[in-house]
Amino acid sequence: MEKRNPESCPGIKDFLRPKPEYIQCPNCAGSVEIWTDEDTAECEICGQEVSRKEKSASCLDWCEFADKCREIINSRKH
């Protein structure tokens, strides 16, 4: 059985190299850029805070290394 660790986990890439996605603002129908590591974003047209309809489950919800990965993610954001 292959051992995994937080540094080599493929799931951490989504958090360390987030990508933009676009969702429609429910207030003005504008296009809101929200990054894959964010749950909310502000519409640049009307200022409405927009949330993802459904939060995707991630490996941080179940992986045995989740706490270590959170530390790595937070250290790289600052």
Residues 6+ away with beta carbon under 8 Å from 47: none
pLDDT reported for residue 8? 62
- Contact residues for 29 (Cβ-Cβ < 8 A; gap 6+): none
Q: What percent of the chain has pLDDT over 90?
A: 35
* Range among 2-6, 28-32, 58-62, 71-75 with highest mean pLDDT value: 28-32
Beta strand extents in 1-78 (DSSP E only): 20-24, 31-35, 40-42, 49-51
* Calpha distance 57→50 (Å, rounded): 19
Domains of the chain by residue range: 1-51
Phi and psi for 12 in degrees, rounded to 5?
-70, -20
